[in-house]
Structure 1
Amino acid sequence: MRFPVLIPLAFAVAGNLSCSTQSHAADASARAWVAQALKTMGQRHDLHQVAALRAQTISAVWDTVEFDHADAPFVFEGAAQASVIDDLHGGRRLTDETQLGAGAAPSSLHTRTLLTPTEERTDRVMAGRPPATTRYEAPPAWNTDEPIAVLLLAEQASDLMREADVSPHGIEQHVVSFHRGRYPVRVFLDTVTGLPSAIDTTRELRRANSVDIAYNAMGDVVDHVELMNYALFDGVRYPVQSDLFRNGVHLRTTIRNELHMDATLDAKAFALPETSVTLSHASVDDIALGQAVGLAPDPKAPIAEIAPGIVQIPGSWFSTIVRQDDGLVIIDAPISTGYSRKVLDEAAQRFPGMPVKALITSTAFYWHVAGVREYAARGIPIYARDRNVSVIRAMLNASRTLTPDELALHPVAPIIRPVSKATAIGHGRNAIVLYPVREGEQPMQMSWIADAHLLHTAEMVMPLGPNGTLIQPESLLELQHSVEASPIATHGLHMIGMHMRPTAWDVLLQALKDAGVNGVEGIERAGPA
């Protein structure tokens, strides 16, 4: 669960007391509680003298950013076993992780990630692929999710404050708060045991990598870590289990099956081979049009007019500009607000004087709609699959206090048009008809541009297999059935999509045959003359 932010009652009603008096009182009690928590966890050990924590963990992660419904249960993303070393004095963490495959057997994917106060570096090794190294700025306030580290940080914080007690799960908790840089942190302390029970950190995820691109649309992200099942490790009381909830959604469970407290630090353990990869300071808004950030079918593909008046912007996530007689339609708003501004600038340059009359969001996967707020801020109507409206609204309503965008600075009521049946946008040249993918497990919608013989297939069709082969035959079959149930003409039809340049419809049929699906010749319709 996500705990609400509460203001101490005394702050609201005791107007006749000076702010300094209240602050001193709150600060004194907050510091006493933190000191007691450190003593309670350490028992006879002074946790200030612990140089490093060494843990063996196993974790399970859920995919909460692409789903067929917006609440639990979510798709299981995977499990991993890891060795973790926390340098409590130097603010570093080294994680040596192996993904677990079927039957909990180790897979071929192995990663070593080093986090420092300024940098995150990850070395990946996978059988059959060359080693890869990525380096980014460190995520904000990353070391507040570990209970000893967060208590030591709280103890040193100049703005440590007491908040009102709360009772999550019916158990009364003291709450103390402080800032790690500019990011708020709250620590929950059991009033009976004195042990930390949970930690909240409000942060923003804006680095130019896949995870941050997915979550940056949610603005101020609240990571809530619940700590439970305390046990003795080397004479120190420590939670065996921690659960991470992001914006109230359960994201990860971690179990520690071994933990050691070291009085000295093995500096060699943190040594990683030198790499020529440079540290990336880029934020999501700095990504250039068409720049590949993650997996891309053709990373060097240029922006191109694929049919008269239809322009595709490639990259890891595509956008498409469609010129109609009375304005422009944009299909998909991926990556970020800043990226959407670049797409709109490109549209204005290619089609001067033409207003943008609509945005089509073909899915609600977070990467694909992370730029939707810029369109809402400009009053551009947003066409969304009916089952995806709640996700779009959550992004448009997201709190943005850490880095306000145009919608946060100048709020406007968004124009959202749910699509539950065939819906036309425009008339004449490049008219578009939207169709829900009826049989799709994931709620997506197709965009048919009849006179261009193009069908935008959302993310149902992805040429991301070896040598550009299509993956996920289930999605291909769902799309074929949805097309056959519609008036879409398949004769001479080419598909485009979130990751796809024009590809003949016959390629989908052949991929289904190769997957062992019988009778996939389909119903070929000639369409308009």
Structure 2
Amino acid sequence: MHRHRLIFAAAVIAASAAVSRGAVAQRADAAALVRQAQAAIGGEAIAQARAVATTGVMHEYMIGNAERPEGPWRVSYSRFTELRPAGGTRLRRTEVSLGAAGNSPERITLLTDSVVTLRQGTNEMPALPMFHDDLSAYVAMHPDRALQLAAASAALRLERPVVRHGVVHDVVSFPWEGRRMSIELSRDSHLPVAVELHGEFAHDFRRAPFGDVRLRADYDNWTAEAGEVWWPHQYRVTLDGELLRDMTIATVALEAAELPAGLFVVSDSLRALYRDNARNSPPNFAFGSRGEPEELREGIIRMRDFWTMTAVRQDDGIILFEAHLTGRYLGQVLDYLAAKYPALPVKAIVMSSDPWAHVGGVREAVARGIPIYVHARSIPFLTRVVKSSHASHPDRLQRAPRAPRFIPVNRRTVIGTGTNRIELHPVGGAYAERMVMAYFPGHKLLYGSDLVFADRQQKGYFRTPAIELRRAVAREGLPVDSLFSVQARPAIAWTEFVPAPR
């Protein structure tokens, strides 16, 4: 018996050694491919440069910002100049937005170590951490920087090759900032023609609900620059296959001189303000951060935090409006309601709209088995959110999957009885085709979904959503006295809700 144990132990040791030798050999193969790619894009010329300066134009899709969550998206255009120092995560971008009604003033975005700031004229302010997530990934995914990171990684490995456009590409990958980065290297040119980053963007309230997303940059129009340097002049960036940015590079220059020290300096006061912003980032934001809940009517509680959630007490339970921000935040709201109404369960959630920014708590609601009233047209999109993988940072639904309980709203739908009875009505229209308004007959009170925006430039409210909400109220014949919404503004008289002039 003792002899058999020794033989088994020796076999295990031998197998482990073989695996270890295989991993070392695989890393050596991957490292050789990376060195070959570094030589192909410019070798020492890039390695010795102090910075890379580019100019170009960008066509950016505002993913999640449209009449419907599947798009097509609204678009912005800009002309930019970028300075990216060698090594590290730093970027200085100067850009002008190109609008249909005219161009915006010049804006400078500065990314340095753990801070992002925005400057326009004499005004300088800290950005949100979601900008840091986005820009640091943007910098790291540039071909030269991605190859530097790969060369420095002790966990570099060789993946299965892929075929793109009839050409075989070797693929190397390595961990980066809690995600995994992979680079596709053409066997013909040895150039790094694509970089992918797979993982979570927790600070971005549009990307976070989808968990492990795939950000991909395809690099095309490779051009011979001065000094045997090759550089792509077309960047095509996608998020889970959806086009996010299309960038055309006009000029590329390698800066040999030391950069002025002041270009990337951020004051202590701005750093302090950035830390304050970080506390309001989705994964950090806590229930009650912007004040105590308030009672709008008896049994109707508004929680005006990042956005507003509303709890409605009925005889047999609580109806909660919206599932914003994150699963953690929704859990804190549910804890508050359990303490306030210990004998009443949350019997349902009403989601009055479905933009990416407002669905962060959906998976938590599904995991807790809470039914969700939502416009019938929104169910396929929300099902996609529910099915998304959160394997890198498992949430409650990832750990214990369950089917959602969506209740479609495609006509007048009544919830409950008594003074706080709720009537749900689809709003409809070009802007509000997937939105649901809620009417409280006992109070002549209307919840206007995400359609109530005061126009700071004109007297009144944003014209398009205001017209569509007023049309829906007239269509349903609702006698409304007061109006409130998902936005954190006080309730107003219905007579005050006037569309701004064109």
State TM-score, norm by structure 1: 0.84
- Alpha-carbon distance in 1 for matches of 2:37, 2:26: 16
Equivalent AA in structure 2 for residue 186 of structure 1 = S
- Alpha-carbon distance in 1 for matches of 2:303, 2:495: 24
- Alpha-carbon distance in 1 for matches of 2:167, 2:348: 49
Is residue 479 of structure 1 aligned with residue 476 of structure 2? no
Distance change in 2, residues 1:167/1:419 (3 Å): farther
Match of 2:224 in 1: 232
Q: CA RMSD in A?
A: 2.5
- Do the aligned residues in 1 keep the contact of 2:89 with 2:140 (CA within 8 Å)? no
Match of 1:419 in 2: 409
**Aligned-pair distance for 1:148?**
0.2
**Aligned-pair distance for 1:307?**
0.5
What SS class does the counterpart of residue 384 from structure 1 fall into? strand
What SS class does the counterpart of residue 167 from structure 1 fall into? strand
Match of 2:119 in 1: 124
**Aligned-pair distance for 1:109?**
5.4
Aligned equivalent of 1:221, options 205, 208, 213: 213
- Alpha-carbon distance in 1 for matches of 2:491, 2:89: 49
Identity %: 26
What SS class does the counterpart of residue 284 from structure 1 fall into? coil
- Do the aligned residues in 1 keep the contact of 2:307 with 2:486 (CA within 8 Å)? no
- Do the aligned residues in 1 keep the contact of 2:354 with 2:378 (CA within 8 Å)? yes
Structure 2 stretches of 5 or more lacking a match? 1-14
Please list, as runs of the form range in 1=range in 2, the aligned pairs for 1:114-193 lying within 5 A after superposition: 114-116=111-113, 119-125=114-120, 130-134=123-127, 136=129, 138-139=132-133, 142=137, 143-193=139-189
What SS class does the counterpart of residue 151 from structure 1 fall into? helix
Match of 2:450 in 1: 459
Match of 1:202 in 2: 198
- Alpha-carbon distance in 2 for matches of 1:185, 1:22: 21
Structure 1 stretches of 5 or more lacking a match? 1-14, 293-300, 517-529
Please list, as runs of the form range in 1=range in 2, the aligned pairs for 1:284-323 lying within 5 A after superposition: 284-291=282-289, 302-323=292-313
CA deviation map 1:447-476 (0-9, x unaligned): 111112211111111225259x54421111
Distance change in 2, residues 1:242/1:471 (3 Å): farther
Q: Which range is displaced more, 18-27 or 433-442?
A: 18-27
- Do the aligned residues in 2 keep the contact of 1:462 with 1:499 (CA within 8 Å)? no
Distance change in 2, residues 1:64/1:135 (3 Å): closer
Equivalent AA in structure 2 for residue 29 of structure 1 = D
CA deviation map 1:223-269 (0-9, x unaligned): 11111111123331111011111122111112211111123431425
- Alpha-carbon distance in 2 for matches of 1:112, 1:70: 28
What SS class does the counterpart of residue 139 from structure 1 fall into? helix
- Do the aligned residues in 1 keep the contact of 2:64 with 2:73 (CA within 8 Å)? no
Distance change in 2, residues 1:493/1:92 (3 Å): closer
**Aligned-pair distance for 1:156?**
1.2
Match of 2:109 in 1: 112
- Alpha-carbon distance in 2 for matches of 1:181, 1:70: 28
**Aligned-pair distance for 1:191?**
2.0
State TM-score, norm by structure 2: 0.88
What SS class does the counterpart of residue 199 from structure 1 fall into? strand
- Alpha-carbon distance in 2 for matches of 1:185, 1:427: 54
Equivalent AA in structure 2 for residue 42 of structure 1 = G
**Aligned-pair distance for 1:188?**
0.8
Equivalent AA in structure 2 for residue 387 of structure 1 = R
Aligned equivalent of 2:398, options 403, 408, 415: 408
Q: Which range is displaced more, 255-264 or 105-114?
A: 105-114
Match of 2:348 in 1: 358
- Do the aligned residues in 2 keep the contact of 1:383 with 1:419 (CA within 8 Å)? yes
What SS class does the counterpart of residue 428 from structure 1 fall into? coil
**Aligned-pair distance for 1:290?**
4.9
- Alpha-carbon distance in 2 for matches of 1:240, 1:356: 54
Distance change in 2, residues 1:363/1:168 (3 Å): farther
**Aligned-pair distance for 1:135?**
6.8
